[in-house]
A and B are shown apart, each in its own frame.
Chain A
């Protein structure tokens, strides 16, 4: 296909309309929706409100609960592990603390467990891919903490709680808001290079749903800068890490406690029996399940394994009837479909436009509302359809340099500029094409403010856990979440392992679960957890999306 400045001819023709109407679009804007209008568009176009995206799970502790189909599919599948394949009389690793997942939450937990007295050779981080391969590494925007005089942890609390539709666990919200400044201070001590003003104070930005500017950032590589520092500290301490060996099921003991896990070496196909007095689940999110068929911003490993394993031992889940779709995922070119274009682009003044170059929504609606209006516009036939059948709307990025002066995009959006430049698209000259993308798992395994699940011996922290963000997470609170609750998980498990005693090891819970599926007459060809997404063959091409 012949391309003009990175776009096929027919898309360029639509861009011409965008350019023609740019001046008008910059001078007049669409009004924000009323609460009633918001509600209407959400009900009609957001996947959370659609009847066909979710169903009731038929087995287990949450039987009858409404969850996204893709999650129910896996909860109603047999375990990927056949207990007969494992010899529990041979223990490969005997530790005090097993940490499942080597992303942000898991690594932070290991550091605080060590600091609180667990010897490092009694800690084991086990991770599916490399240490640090996680959504934590990918966050662009930043981390919230109420540390300015104009701000207070109580206001942060109110923002989190309102953002979550008042359905969060208040205890967890309190921990998130009150621990936040401590976390920033800890980062300062590690050597995180936060963006600062000339007077040495943090540069703090606002965000959708926050009443004060409290977003601390490190350029548009905030998540990477945090993870690099945290991981470097763990490496200097030589905290043991087992890479490419995901835990595929937990171990239990005859007292009903979680007592470690079974790891599977992805390269040698061996099983390892890991006995532990306490286990922290920190496997992250589930974007790679492509719930409701959305493309995703998430890491390759984000397949929701932790939810499944936790459910198999009887831990309960919450708020998995909602997903966070981010309005501005990339829709073109094909190689970057689903990848995030930061909210900052709209914050700096770029306006969403349809194929005729006309605006159709106030650019700064809350994420769910903004997304729903994009979907509506495309369904009306006003979107632009890419050569791989991906729908999208324009985000008129050149407006930014017109408003703020030449060079703004290249300095303030360096990562974004670099991404599009690779595909011959100059976002300072031409708009970019966007469509909502699956971004965050709002809910997960229920925890309390000590990161305990309802099963003794099993703790959870980070994106895999539920209750912190209720039905919807606000920007900047996920990096905060993994730090606050990773730290707490480390501290409380360090206390816990001093008294914990592990009984006789067993995998009986897996047989029981499989039998429960049979009794419920559920016949699924699937096994779970899935560990890796399937993209071979035609699946490699951006998903033939039936989201329209």
Chain B
């Protein structure tokens, strides 16, 4: 491992990082992702949405003179001086195959499909390695207990980066387990919308076809008038959605 490549002085505002053991000087304040790019790397693997949503850029790091390994997302974590870095290009955790239509949301459903969750030794390493700060071990315990709804709720912010599964001494594939829990909950446990069922029925019976057809055939001036005069539903402040 080449710790120092050159004897040159470190400039102010710079930090030294070791990308897979190799020394590079990069500006302080960059994320790990941008630091690697600054050093000359061009990503193929290990880079995705660059905003913390996709889990492509799982990174393992260690600070010089420390024993402990750190885990985070390269697009979110800022580099520190004397940081050793490696990106995880792929997580080889096996996903069970199932037909959600043929499953029932019973207490034993998840345990049947992913029996290894029963081997959880409660070491909490999964939770400690989660870049989203999700209580991973807790949701696995919920899955063991058969509490699908709770498992789904706790795991909801999971970005499926796989760091939990890579660290687990019991070979649990946490992020696949919680995916199943969320689908079971969304499909079978959460209530269904009656308004939606009614609207589907209306659309099936072509209730809106002529209204829309009329708009399509209307001359532009009249559509613009209709649009400008349409009544806006008054919502409470704070009802605003959108991206």
Contacts of A158 in B (CB 8 A): 215, 223, 226-227, 230
**Chain B interface residue count: which class?**
35 or more
| Selected contact of B48 from candidates A130, A200, A212, CB within 8 Å | A130
Q: Please tell me if the beta carbons of A238 and B97 are within 8 angstroms of each other in the complex.
A: yes
Quick check: B208 and A300 within 8 Å, CB to CB? no
- 16 additional A-B pairs beyond A191-B100, A346-B240, beta carbons within 8 Å, are A130-B48, A130-B56, A166-B220, A188-B193, A191-B186, A193-B186, A202-B196, A217-B241, A228-B160, A233-B100, A244-B45, A297-B51, A326-B243, A343-B241, A343-B242, A540-B38
Is the CB–CB distance between B30 and A334 below 8 Å? yes
Q: Indicate whether A526 reaches chain B with its CB closer than 8 angstroms.
A: no
In the assembled complex, which residues on chain A have CB atoms less than 8 Å from the CB atom of B230?
155, 158, 211
CB interface residues, A 124-138, toward B, < 8 Å: 129-130, 132-133, 135, 137-138
Select from chain B the residue with minimum beta-carbon distance to A349: B237
Contact between B48 and A190, CB atoms less than 8 A apart = no
* Interface 1/0 per residue, B210-224 and A, CB below 8 Å: 011001100010011
A300 touches B240 (CB 8 A): no
Q: Does B95 contact A (CB under 8 A)?
A: yes
The minimal Cβ–Cβ distance linking B60 to chain A, given in whole angstroms, is: 18
Q: Give the complex CA separation of A137 and B52 in angstroms.
A: 10
Q: Is B146 an interface residue (CB 8 A)?
A: no
In the assembled complex, 17 residue pairs joining A and B whose CB atoms fall closer than 8 Å, in A order, are A129-B45, A130-B48, A138-B49, A158-B215, A161-B223, A166-B224, A190-B183, A199-B191, A229-B186, A244-B45, A266-B44, A403-B238, A404-B238, A412-B238, A475-B242, A534-B42, A540-B34
Binding site for B on A (CB under 8 A): 129-130, 132-133, 135, 137-142, 146-150, 152-155, 157-158, 161-162, 166, 170-171, 174, 177-178, 181-182, 184-185, 188-194, 196, 199-202, 204-208, 211-213, 215, 217-219, 221-225, 228-229, 232-233, 235-236, 238, 244, 266-267, 297, 299-300, 326, 333-336, 339-340, 342-344, 346-349, 364, 403-404, 412, 414-415, 418-419, 422-423, 475-476, 478, 532, 534-541
Complex Cα gap A535–B54 (Å): 20
Given contact pairs A228-B160, A244-B44, A476-B243, A185 touches B51 in the complex (Cβ within 8 A): no
Nearest 9 interchain pairs by C-beta: A347-B240, A200-B191, A205-B241, A191-B183, A475-B242, A215-B241, A141-B243, A191-B186, A191-B187
> A155 CA to B99 CA in the complex, in Å?
37
Other-chain contact of B235, A196, A206, A419 (Cβ < 8 Å) = A206
B199/A192 in contact, CB under 8 A? no
What does DSSP make chain B's interface, helix, strand, loop or mixed? loop
Q: Are B100 and A190 in contact (CB under 8 A)?
A: yes
Q: When the two chains form their complex, are residues B48 and A181 in contact, meaning their CB atoms are under 8 A apart?
A: no
CA distance A342 to B230 in the complex (A): 26
Query: Which chain A residues lie closer than 8 Å to B34 at the CB level?
Result: 335, 535, 540-541
A177 in contact with B239 (CB, 8 Å): no
CA gap between A170 and B19 in the complex, in Å: 53
- Across the interface, do A344 and B47 meet the contact criterion of CB distance under 8 Å? no
- Distance in angstroms from B219 CB to nearest chain A CB is 11
Interface presence of B195 (CB below 8 A): yes
CB distance from A468 to the nearest CB of B (A): 14
The reply to whether B186 and A476 form a contact with Cβ atoms under 8 Å apart is no
Provide the bound-state CA to CA distance between A137 and B156, in Å: 14
Complex interface: chain B residues within 8 A of A190 (CB):
100, 183, 186-187
For the complex, is B233 an interface residue (Cβ under 8 Å from A)? yes
| Among B37, B50, B198, residue most surrounded by chain A Cβ atoms (within 10 Å) | B50
Q: Is the CB of B95 within 8 A of A211?
A: no
Across the interface, do B53 and A138 meet the contact criterion of CB distance under 8 Å?
Answer: yes
Whole-angstrom distance between the alpha carbons of A185 and B198 in the complex? Answer: 11
Given contacts A181-B200, A541-B38, contact A208 B242 (CB under 8 A): yes
B174 is an interface residue with CB less than 8 A from chain A: no
- Nearest Cβ in chain B — how far from A384, in angstroms? 17
Distance between Cα atoms of A333 and B48 in the complex (Å)? 20
The residue that B240 contacts in the complex, of A157, A191, A193, A206, with Cβ under 8 A, is A206
Bound CA span A191–B42, Å: 37
